[in-house]
Structure 1
Amino acid sequence: MNRDAFFHYLTVTDPRLFPNAMTDAQRSGLEAKLDVWAKWYAADHPITFLAAALGQIYRETGGRMEPVLEAFSPDRRTAAERLQKAFDAGRLTWVKTPYWLPDESGRIPVGGGDIQLTHCRNYVNAEEKLRDKFGISCALSENYDLILDPVISAHVAFAGMIDGWFRPCKLSDFVRPDGSLDYRAARDIVNGDGAHIGDEIERNCSIFEAALRAGEAYGG
Protein backbone atom coordinates (compact mmCIF):
# COMPACT_ATOMS: atom_id res chain seq x y z
CA MET A 1 0.00 0.00 0.00
CA ASN A 2 1.20 3.51 -0.81
CA ARG A 3 0.60 5.19 2.54
CA ASP A 4 1.82 8.56 1.33
CA ALA A 5 -0.98 8.52 -1.27
CA PHE A 6 -3.46 7.41 1.40
CA PHE A 7 -2.58 10.28 3.74
CA HIS A 8 -2.36 12.77 0.87
CA TYR A 9 -5.93 11.92 -0.10
CA LEU A 10 -7.17 12.48 3.47
CA THR A 11 -5.36 15.76 3.97
CA VAL A 12 -5.27 17.32 0.49
CA THR A 13 -7.56 15.65 -2.04
CA ASP A 14 -10.57 15.40 0.29
CA PRO A 15 -9.75 16.91 3.69
CA ARG A 16 -13.29 16.92 5.08
CA LEU A 17 -12.36 14.58 7.93
CA PHE A 18 -9.12 16.43 8.69
CA PRO A 19 -9.80 20.04 7.65
CA ASN A 20 -7.05 21.45 9.86
CA ALA A 21 -4.43 18.96 8.67
CA MET A 22 -3.64 15.76 10.52
CA THR A 23 -1.92 15.74 13.89
CA ASP A 24 0.94 13.40 14.69
CA ALA A 25 -1.38 11.53 17.06
CA GLN A 26 -4.02 11.05 14.37
CA ARG A 27 -1.47 9.82 11.86
CA SER A 28 0.12 7.50 14.42
CA GLY A 29 -3.30 6.09 15.30
CA LEU A 30 -4.08 5.42 11.65
CA GLU A 31 -0.66 3.89 11.04
CA ALA A 32 -1.19 1.46 13.91
CA LYS A 33 -4.53 0.36 12.50
CA LEU A 34 -3.12 -0.07 9.01
CA ASP A 35 -0.29 -2.18 10.44
CA VAL A 36 -2.71 -4.48 12.26
CA TRP A 37 -4.97 -4.76 9.21
CA ALA A 38 -2.08 -5.54 6.86
CA LYS A 39 -0.67 -8.27 9.10
CA TRP A 40 -3.84 -9.98 10.30
CA TYR A 41 -6.84 -9.13 8.10
CA ALA A 42 -5.93 -7.90 4.61
CA ALA A 43 -5.53 -11.33 3.05
CA ASP A 44 -9.05 -12.43 3.97
CA HIS A 45 -11.20 -9.29 3.85
CA PRO A 46 -11.95 -6.52 1.32
CA ILE A 47 -10.85 -2.95 1.85
CA THR A 48 -14.49 -1.94 2.25
CA PHE A 49 -14.38 -3.73 5.60
CA LEU A 50 -11.36 -1.66 6.61
CA ALA A 51 -13.05 1.52 5.37
CA ALA A 52 -16.16 0.66 7.39
CA ALA A 53 -14.09 0.15 10.52
CA LEU A 54 -12.12 3.36 10.06
CA GLY A 55 -15.29 5.35 9.43
CA GLN A 56 -16.89 4.02 12.60
CA ILE A 57 -13.70 4.58 14.58
CA TYR A 58 -13.61 8.19 13.41
CA ARG A 59 -17.05 8.69 14.94
CA GLU A 60 -16.35 6.72 18.11
CA THR A 61 -13.09 8.56 18.85
CA GLY A 62 -14.29 12.02 17.91
CA GLY A 63 -11.86 12.08 15.00
CA ARG A 64 -8.86 11.34 17.21
CA MET A 65 -8.24 7.97 15.50
CA GLU A 66 -6.68 6.52 18.62
CA PRO A 67 -8.23 4.59 21.53
CA VAL A 68 -10.12 6.77 24.01
CA LEU A 69 -12.14 6.41 27.18
CA GLU A 70 -15.81 7.29 27.11
CA ALA A 71 -16.65 11.01 27.24
CA PHE A 72 -13.00 11.55 26.23
CA SER A 73 -12.06 11.32 29.89
CA PRO A 74 -8.54 11.08 31.34
CA ASP A 75 -9.46 8.08 33.51
CA ARG A 76 -12.36 5.73 34.22
CA ARG A 77 -13.48 7.39 37.42
CA THR A 78 -13.81 10.74 35.66
CA ALA A 79 -15.70 9.05 32.82
CA ALA A 80 -18.11 7.50 35.30
CA GLU A 81 -18.68 10.86 37.00
CA ARG A 82 -19.40 12.55 33.67
CA LEU A 83 -21.79 9.80 32.61
CA GLN A 84 -23.61 9.88 35.95
CA LYS A 85 -24.02 13.65 35.68
CA ALA A 86 -25.43 13.32 32.17
CA PHE A 87 -27.72 10.50 33.29
CA ASP A 88 -29.03 12.51 36.25
CA ALA A 89 -29.71 15.42 33.89
CA GLY A 90 -31.79 13.17 31.64
CA ARG A 91 -29.40 13.29 28.70
CA LEU A 92 -28.88 9.53 28.46
CA THR A 93 -32.47 8.53 27.81
CA TRP A 94 -31.48 5.25 26.13
CA VAL A 95 -29.68 3.99 29.25
CA LYS A 96 -31.94 1.96 31.54
CA THR A 97 -29.31 0.76 34.01
CA PRO A 98 -26.07 2.70 34.59
CA TYR A 99 -23.18 0.58 33.29
CA TRP A 100 -20.46 2.86 34.65
CA LEU A 101 -20.77 1.76 38.27
CA PRO A 102 -18.01 -0.47 39.68
CA ASP A 103 -18.69 -4.08 38.70
CA GLU A 104 -18.14 -7.30 40.66
CA SER A 105 -14.38 -6.92 40.20
CA GLY A 106 -14.43 -3.39 41.62
CA ARG A 107 -13.37 -1.98 38.26
CA ILE A 108 -15.30 0.61 36.26
CA PRO A 109 -16.42 -0.82 32.89
CA VAL A 110 -17.04 2.44 31.03
CA GLY A 111 -16.49 2.48 27.29
CA GLY A 112 -12.94 2.35 26.02
CA GLY A 113 -11.03 1.77 22.82
CA ASP A 114 -11.40 2.58 19.14
CA ILE A 115 -14.90 1.12 19.34
CA GLN A 116 -16.28 1.72 22.83
CA LEU A 117 -16.20 -1.54 24.77
CA THR A 118 -18.41 -1.55 27.88
CA HIS A 119 -19.41 -4.08 30.57
CA CYS A 120 -17.22 -6.72 32.18
CA ARG A 121 -18.67 -9.47 29.97
CA ASN A 122 -17.49 -7.70 26.83
CA TYR A 123 -13.94 -7.30 28.12
CA VAL A 124 -13.91 -10.99 29.03
CA ASN A 125 -15.36 -11.93 25.64
CA ALA A 126 -12.76 -9.85 23.77
CA GLU A 127 -9.93 -11.45 25.73
CA GLU A 128 -11.21 -14.95 24.96
CA LYS A 129 -11.92 -14.24 21.30
CA LEU A 130 -8.48 -12.70 20.65
CA ARG A 131 -6.82 -15.70 22.27
CA ASP A 132 -8.90 -18.21 20.31
CA LYS A 133 -8.78 -16.40 16.95
CA PHE A 134 -5.20 -15.12 16.87
CA GLY A 135 -3.39 -16.66 19.82
CA ILE A 136 -3.06 -13.19 21.32
CA SER A 137 -2.78 -13.22 25.10
CA CYS A 138 -3.99 -10.08 26.87
CA ALA A 139 -5.50 -9.79 30.33
CA LEU A 140 -8.37 -7.48 29.38
CA SER A 141 -10.61 -9.06 31.98
CA GLU A 142 -8.12 -8.08 34.69
CA ASN A 143 -7.09 -4.71 33.34
CA TYR A 144 -9.75 -2.92 31.31
CA ASP A 145 -7.32 -0.17 30.37
CA LEU A 146 -5.50 -2.58 28.06
CA ILE A 147 -8.24 -1.68 25.57
CA LEU A 148 -6.31 1.58 25.17
CA ASP A 149 -3.35 -0.30 23.70
CA PRO A 150 -3.38 0.60 19.97
CA VAL A 151 -2.86 -2.96 18.74
CA ILE A 152 -5.36 -4.61 21.07
CA SER A 153 -7.91 -1.89 20.40
CA ALA A 154 -7.52 -2.22 16.62
CA HIS A 155 -8.03 -5.98 16.87
CA VAL A 156 -11.19 -5.52 18.94
CA ALA A 157 -12.54 -3.00 16.43
CA PHE A 158 -11.74 -5.08 13.34
CA ALA A 159 -12.60 -8.55 14.63
CA GLY A 160 -15.59 -7.21 16.54
CA MET A 161 -17.13 -5.73 13.40
CA ILE A 162 -16.19 -8.65 11.16
CA ASP A 163 -17.42 -11.37 13.53
CA GLY A 164 -20.26 -9.49 15.23
CA TRP A 165 -19.06 -9.14 18.81
CA PHE A 166 -20.94 -5.95 19.64
CA ARG A 167 -24.48 -6.52 18.37
CA PRO A 168 -26.24 -9.40 16.54
CA CYS A 169 -24.89 -8.45 13.10
CA LYS A 170 -21.56 -8.32 11.29
CA LEU A 171 -20.01 -6.63 8.27
CA SER A 172 -20.80 -9.40 5.81
CA ASP A 173 -24.50 -8.90 6.53
CA PHE A 174 -24.30 -5.53 4.79
CA VAL A 175 -22.50 -6.51 1.59
CA ARG A 176 -24.62 -5.70 -1.46
CA PRO A 177 -24.95 -8.07 -4.47
CA ASP A 178 -22.41 -5.96 -6.40
CA GLY A 179 -19.85 -6.38 -3.61
CA SER A 180 -20.11 -2.86 -2.24
CA LEU A 181 -20.86 -2.29 1.42
CA ASP A 182 -23.88 -0.45 2.81
CA TYR A 183 -21.96 1.76 5.23
CA ARG A 184 -25.05 3.53 6.51
CA ALA A 185 -26.84 0.32 7.49
CA ALA A 186 -23.63 -1.18 8.89
CA ARG A 187 -23.69 1.40 11.67
CA ASP A 188 -25.99 -1.10 13.38
CA ILE A 189 -22.97 -3.28 14.11
CA VAL A 190 -21.78 -0.71 16.64
CA ASN A 191 -24.90 1.16 17.70
CA GLY A 192 -28.53 1.37 16.73
CA ASP A 193 -28.40 5.09 15.99
CA GLY A 194 -27.99 4.84 12.23
CA ALA A 195 -31.26 6.66 11.61
CA HIS A 196 -29.74 9.74 13.25
CA ILE A 197 -26.12 9.67 12.12
CA GLY A 198 -26.27 7.45 9.04
CA ASP A 199 -25.25 10.27 6.70
CA GLU A 200 -22.18 11.00 8.81
CA ILE A 201 -21.14 7.35 8.95
CA GLU A 202 -21.59 6.90 5.20
CA ARG A 203 -19.49 10.01 4.55
CA ASN A 204 -16.72 8.86 6.87
CA CYS A 205 -16.50 5.37 5.42
CA SER A 206 -16.72 6.54 1.81
CA ILE A 207 -13.85 8.99 2.31
CA PHE A 208 -11.69 6.31 3.88
CA GLU A 209 -12.53 3.89 1.07
CA ALA A 210 -11.50 6.47 -1.52
CA ALA A 211 -8.25 7.12 0.35
CA LEU A 212 -7.51 3.40 0.52
CA ARG A 213 -8.11 3.04 -3.19
CA ALA A 214 -5.89 6.05 -3.85
CA GLY A 215 -3.17 4.20 -1.96
CA GLU A 216 -3.96 0.99 -3.84
CA ALA A 217 -4.49 -0.68 -0.51
CA TYR A 218 -3.93 -4.42 -0.37
CA GLY A 219 -4.83 -5.03 -3.98
CA GLY A 220 -7.70 -2.49 -4.10
Structure 2
Amino acid sequence: MSIPLLLTATTNPGETINVTVNSVDDRCQQYLDTLEFYLEVGVFKKIIFTENSGDDLTFLASAQKKAAQAGIELELLEKCGSNDWPSYGKGRGELSIIQQAFSRSKWLQEEGTRALKITGRYVVKNVVELVKKVNQTDAEVICDLRGNLSTADARFFAASKRFIEEDFFPKFELIDDRQEIYFEHVLAQAVHSGMSKGRKWELLPELPLIEGINGTTGEKIRTSLSKRMRHQLKKKLIRY
Protein backbone atom coordinates (compact mmCIF):
# COMPACT_ATOMS: atom_id res chain seq x y z
CA MET A 1 0.00 0.00 0.00
CA SER A 2 1.35 3.42 -0.94
CA ILE A 3 2.36 5.49 2.05
CA PRO A 4 0.25 8.64 2.68
CA LEU A 5 2.00 12.00 2.48
CA LEU A 6 1.82 14.23 5.56
CA LEU A 7 2.60 17.89 4.88
CA THR A 8 3.07 20.13 7.92
CA ALA A 9 2.35 23.85 7.80
CA THR A 10 2.32 26.98 9.93
CA THR A 11 0.93 29.80 7.82
CA ASN A 12 1.35 32.38 10.58
CA PRO A 13 4.43 31.76 12.78
CA GLY A 14 3.73 34.88 14.83
CA GLU A 15 6.50 35.60 17.34
CA THR A 16 8.15 32.19 17.07
CA ILE A 17 11.89 32.54 17.60
CA ASN A 18 14.41 31.49 14.94
CA VAL A 19 11.96 32.03 12.06
CA THR A 20 12.91 34.45 9.28
CA VAL A 21 10.29 33.46 6.68
CA ASN A 22 7.36 35.05 8.52
CA SER A 23 5.24 36.68 5.79
CA VAL A 24 1.86 34.97 5.85
CA ASP A 25 1.27 35.67 2.14
CA ASP A 26 4.67 34.28 1.16
CA ARG A 27 4.24 31.20 3.29
CA CYS A 28 0.73 30.49 1.93
CA GLN A 29 1.97 30.75 -1.65
CA GLN A 30 4.87 28.41 -0.90
CA TYR A 31 2.52 25.89 0.71
CA LEU A 32 0.17 26.03 -2.25
CA ASP A 33 2.97 25.62 -4.80
CA THR A 34 4.43 22.71 -2.88
CA LEU A 35 1.10 20.91 -2.46
CA GLU A 36 0.37 21.25 -6.17
CA PHE A 37 3.82 19.82 -6.94
CA TYR A 38 3.05 16.69 -4.91
CA LEU A 39 -0.37 16.38 -6.53
CA GLU A 40 1.33 16.26 -9.91
CA VAL A 41 4.17 13.78 -9.28
CA GLY A 42 1.82 10.79 -9.55
CA VAL A 43 3.12 8.75 -6.62
CA PHE A 44 0.70 9.69 -3.83
CA LYS A 45 -2.88 8.43 -3.53
CA LYS A 46 -3.53 10.16 -0.20
CA ILE A 47 -2.20 13.52 0.99
CA ILE A 48 -2.80 15.03 4.43
CA PHE A 49 -2.20 18.79 4.71
CA THR A 50 -2.02 19.98 8.30
CA GLU A 51 -1.87 23.54 9.68
CA ASN A 52 -1.44 24.60 13.31
CA SER A 53 -1.71 28.39 13.59
CA GLY A 54 -5.50 28.47 13.24
CA ASP A 55 -5.72 30.14 9.82
CA ASP A 56 -8.32 28.77 7.42
CA LEU A 57 -7.17 26.84 4.38
CA THR A 58 -9.30 28.46 1.68
CA PHE A 59 -6.09 29.47 -0.11
CA LEU A 60 -5.76 25.80 -1.09
CA ALA A 61 -8.99 25.80 -3.15
CA SER A 62 -7.15 25.36 -6.47
CA ALA A 63 -5.23 22.41 -5.04
CA GLN A 64 -8.46 20.78 -3.90
CA LYS A 65 -9.79 20.99 -7.46
CA LYS A 66 -6.60 19.50 -8.87
CA ALA A 67 -6.73 16.66 -6.36
CA ALA A 68 -10.32 15.84 -7.31
CA GLN A 69 -9.46 15.89 -11.01
CA ALA A 70 -6.47 13.60 -10.45
CA GLY A 71 -8.39 11.17 -8.26
CA ILE A 72 -6.16 11.89 -5.26
CA GLU A 73 -7.69 11.94 -1.78
CA LEU A 74 -6.74 15.21 -0.07
CA GLU A 75 -7.46 15.70 3.62
CA LEU A 76 -7.11 19.21 5.07
CA LEU A 77 -6.72 19.42 8.85
CA GLU A 78 -7.15 22.92 10.27
CA LYS A 79 -6.07 23.76 13.82
CA CYS A 80 -3.99 20.60 13.79
CA GLY A 81 -1.74 20.88 16.80
CA SER A 82 -0.82 24.26 18.21
CA ASN A 83 1.71 27.06 18.00
CA ASP A 84 1.50 28.05 21.66
CA TRP A 85 5.21 27.81 22.40
CA PRO A 86 6.84 30.62 20.34
CA SER A 87 9.58 31.20 22.90
CA TYR A 88 10.68 27.57 22.55
CA GLY A 89 11.07 27.77 18.75
CA LYS A 90 9.17 26.05 15.99
CA GLY A 91 9.98 22.45 16.96
CA ARG A 92 7.26 22.01 19.57
CA GLY A 93 4.64 23.27 17.16
CA GLU A 94 5.93 20.91 14.48
CA LEU A 95 5.70 17.87 16.74
CA SER A 96 2.23 18.89 17.93
CA ILE A 97 1.09 18.95 14.28
CA ILE A 98 2.42 15.45 13.67
CA GLN A 99 0.90 14.04 16.85
CA GLN A 100 -2.50 15.57 16.08
CA ALA A 101 -2.36 14.35 12.48
CA PHE A 102 -1.91 10.77 13.65
CA SER A 103 -4.73 11.30 16.13
CA ARG A 104 -7.20 12.96 13.73
CA SER A 105 -6.53 11.81 10.18
CA LYS A 106 -8.97 9.19 8.95
CA TRP A 107 -6.09 7.43 7.21
CA LEU A 108 -3.77 7.18 10.21
CA GLN A 109 -5.89 5.29 12.72
CA GLU A 110 -4.79 1.68 12.27
CA GLU A 111 -1.98 0.40 14.48
CA GLY A 112 0.55 -0.32 11.73
CA THR A 113 -0.12 2.84 9.74
CA ARG A 114 2.84 4.90 8.54
CA ALA A 115 3.06 8.35 6.97
CA LEU A 116 5.77 10.17 5.06
CA LYS A 117 6.28 13.57 6.68
CA ILE A 118 7.64 16.39 4.54
CA THR A 119 7.93 20.00 5.67
CA GLY A 120 5.09 21.73 3.82
CA ARG A 121 7.14 24.41 2.02
CA TYR A 122 9.80 22.04 0.68
CA VAL A 123 9.80 20.37 -2.71
CA VAL A 124 11.69 17.08 -2.87
CA LYS A 125 12.74 16.66 -6.48
CA ASN A 126 13.48 12.92 -6.24
CA VAL A 127 10.37 12.12 -4.20
CA VAL A 128 9.08 9.53 -6.70
CA GLU A 129 12.18 7.36 -6.37
CA LEU A 130 12.22 7.78 -2.60
CA VAL A 131 8.56 6.86 -2.13
CA LYS A 132 8.89 3.74 -4.27
CA LYS A 133 11.74 2.54 -2.06
CA VAL A 134 10.03 3.52 1.18
CA ASN A 135 6.99 1.50 0.13
CA GLN A 136 9.22 -1.57 -0.19
CA THR A 137 10.34 -1.62 3.45
CA ASP A 138 8.43 -2.33 6.64
CA ALA A 139 10.65 -0.21 8.90
CA GLU A 140 8.74 1.76 11.53
CA VAL A 141 10.93 4.79 11.08
CA ILE A 142 13.02 5.79 8.06
CA CYS A 143 15.20 8.85 8.42
CA ASP A 144 18.71 10.19 8.07
CA LEU A 145 20.75 10.30 11.28
CA ARG A 146 23.65 12.73 11.39
CA GLY A 147 26.13 14.37 13.75
CA ASN A 148 27.45 11.12 15.23
CA LEU A 149 23.84 9.86 15.26
CA SER A 150 22.76 12.73 17.54
CA THR A 151 20.42 14.52 15.11
CA ALA A 152 17.92 13.49 12.45
CA ASP A 153 16.81 15.20 9.25
CA ALA A 154 13.30 16.30 10.21
CA ARG A 155 12.41 17.70 6.80
CA PHE A 156 11.73 14.27 5.30
CA PHE A 157 11.10 11.09 7.25
CA ALA A 158 8.66 8.20 7.45
CA ALA A 159 7.26 6.96 10.73
CA SER A 160 4.63 4.63 12.14
CA LYS A 161 1.73 5.60 14.37
CA ARG A 162 3.29 3.60 17.21
CA PHE A 163 6.64 5.37 16.86
CA ILE A 164 5.04 8.83 16.93
CA GLU A 165 2.73 8.13 19.85
CA GLU A 166 4.96 5.95 22.04
CA ASP A 167 8.52 7.06 21.24
CA PHE A 168 8.50 10.59 19.83
CA PHE A 169 5.62 12.60 21.31
CA PRO A 170 6.41 11.63 24.94
CA LYS A 171 9.67 13.59 24.48
CA PHE A 172 7.76 16.73 23.46
CA GLU A 173 8.91 18.90 26.38
CA LEU A 174 12.58 18.20 25.65
CA ILE A 175 12.40 20.43 22.56
CA ASP A 176 13.72 23.87 23.49
CA ASP A 177 15.50 26.06 20.94
CA ARG A 178 16.67 28.35 23.75
CA GLN A 179 18.80 25.49 25.06
CA GLU A 180 19.82 24.46 21.52
CA ILE A 181 17.84 21.24 21.85
CA TYR A 182 15.99 21.15 18.56
CA PHE A 183 13.30 18.98 16.99
CA GLU A 184 16.08 17.19 15.11
CA HIS A 185 17.86 16.19 18.34
CA VAL A 186 14.70 14.84 19.92
CA LEU A 187 13.71 12.94 16.78
CA ALA A 188 17.10 11.21 16.89
CA GLN A 189 16.60 10.41 20.58
CA ALA A 190 13.20 8.91 19.76
CA VAL A 191 14.76 6.75 17.04
CA HIS A 192 17.30 5.36 19.52
CA SER A 193 14.56 4.82 22.09
CA GLY A 194 12.45 3.00 19.53
CA MET A 195 15.32 0.76 18.46
CA SER A 196 15.94 -0.16 22.11
CA LYS A 197 12.36 -1.51 22.13
CA GLY A 198 12.88 -3.50 18.95
CA ARG A 199 11.50 -0.99 16.46
CA LYS A 200 13.06 -1.26 13.02
CA TRP A 201 14.91 1.82 11.74
CA GLU A 202 16.35 2.31 8.28
CA LEU A 203 18.42 5.05 6.71
CA LEU A 204 16.74 6.95 3.88
CA PRO A 205 17.36 5.02 0.65
CA GLU A 206 18.56 8.20 -1.05
CA LEU A 207 19.34 11.73 0.06
CA PRO A 208 16.27 13.93 -0.56
CA LEU A 209 16.98 16.62 -3.14
CA ILE A 210 15.20 19.46 -1.39
CA GLU A 211 14.33 22.82 -2.89
CA GLY A 212 12.87 25.66 -0.85
CA ILE A 213 13.66 28.49 1.52
CA ASN A 214 15.07 27.59 4.91
CA GLY A 215 12.62 28.93 7.49
CA THR A 216 15.37 29.66 10.01
CA THR A 217 18.04 31.27 7.83
CA GLY A 218 15.91 32.55 4.94
CA GLU A 219 18.43 31.06 2.50
CA LYS A 220 17.77 28.78 -0.46
CA ILE A 221 18.29 25.10 0.29
CA ARG A 222 20.80 23.32 -1.89
CA THR A 223 21.84 19.67 -1.87
CA SER A 224 25.43 19.42 -3.02
CA LEU A 225 26.97 16.50 -4.87
CA SER A 226 29.34 15.94 -1.96
CA LYS A 227 26.39 15.50 0.43
CA ARG A 228 24.84 12.94 -1.90
CA MET A 229 28.11 11.03 -2.12
CA ARG A 230 28.53 11.04 1.67
CA HIS A 231 25.01 9.68 2.09
CA GLN A 232 25.70 6.79 -0.27
CA LEU A 233 28.92 6.01 1.60
CA LYS A 234 27.04 6.10 4.91
CA LYS A 235 24.49 3.62 3.55
CA LYS A 236 27.26 1.20 2.60
CA LEU A 237 28.95 1.51 5.99
CA ILE A 238 25.68 0.89 7.86
CA ARG A 239 24.94 -2.19 5.78
CA TYR A 240 28.47 -3.43 6.32
Verify same fold: TM over 0.5.
Answer: no
Richer in helix (by share):
1
Richer in strand (by share):
2
Give the TM-score of the pair, scaled to structure 2.
0.28
Q: Which of the pair has the greater relative contact order for Cα pairs under 8 Å at 6+ separation? A: 1
Give the TM-score of the pair, scaled to structure 1.
0.30
